[in-house]
Amino acid sequence: MRINIGSFLCALACACSTASAGVSEIADSAAEAARSYGAAVRSCDMGWALDYMYPPLKRMYAEQFAGRGDKEADNARRIMGLTQETPQQARARGESGMRALREHYVKMGKQMISSGLKIESFTVREPVSEYVLTPPSSVVNAVKRDKDGRVRADELQGDGERSRLVVLPTVLVVSGPGKNGTTVRVERRSHIYAIRDEVVRGEIDRNGLTPRETRINKWYFVDGNTDINTLRTFFPGLPLNITLPSGGERVLR
């Protein structure tokens, strides 16, 4: 059975690059967490990969799945305000959408394996850029940044909620059956976004002598193929000129 390696690379990416001066030591933990996430990528375990997806994005996708099929008309009526949804109905619809989303991802992973696709390696390289962002729902002290929105660790002061977005280059090597029974190997260079929510308490002075407490969530991930404007729905302050690694595909011999 022949498969289109390029289309499967895109499918994997949708489920699922050198450091600059704007990257802090904290970004190293994002790279380390992403290497654990890579275990799901290598095994085509798309259900596990879904567990690592940034929760607001996952909820958005689940909402889209909840409005499909026979429920599409009802969902449209709800959005237009023609029906009033109870909290119980909203919760049931959300759970239904999440189940449908998971089934879709698990099925996609199984299709990859049954088609002969093999993930030979998934390498996460050092972060290229890092941004500290204020979620739109937070009413907190502004987080100070330089003119490009990059981290200035010596100026992060005060209390408040924030999110940290780190750009991580990735290298994916995939093999699968090609024409005439041959095996095709493809290398894809891309990137993923690692996102972590944080709550800061206390202050740190410019000499780094005053302790502060930071309550953090775990790192979640968003594929680099995701429209950057989708990310800006969660983080309106994300700069227009974020630093990204170079990407592309090539056939390996």
Question: What is the tens place of the pLDDT at every residue in 65-117?
Answer: 776 544 555 555 555 555 566 777 777 777 888 888 899 989 988 998 898 88
- Mean pLDDT taken over the chain: 74
pTM for the whole structure: 0.71
CB burial of 87-118 (b: ≥16 within 10 Å; e: otherwise) equals: eeeeeebeeebbebbbeebbebbeebeeeebe
Residue 11's pLDDT is 46
In a 10 Å sphere around its CB, with 0-12 CB exposed, 13-18 middle and 19+ buried, how is residue 135 labelled? middle
The closest of 119, 102, 103 to 8, measured between CA atoms, is 119
Residue 195's pLDDT is 93
- With beta carbons less than 8 A apart as the criterion, state whether 28 and 204 touch: no
Triad 50, 54, 59: Cα angle to 5°: 80
Question: Six-digit token pair at 84?
Answer: 């009033």
Q: Which domain holds residue 125?
A: 5-252
Mean pLDDT (whole number) for 116-127: 91
Count of domains forming the chain: 1
Judged by DSSP in three states, 187 sits in strand
Residue 74's pLDDT is 59
Residue 97's pLDDT is 84
The CA dihedral of 149, 150, 156, 159, to the nearest 10 degrees, is: 50
**What is the spatial distance between Cα 50 and Cα 57, in angstroms, rounded to a whole number?**
10
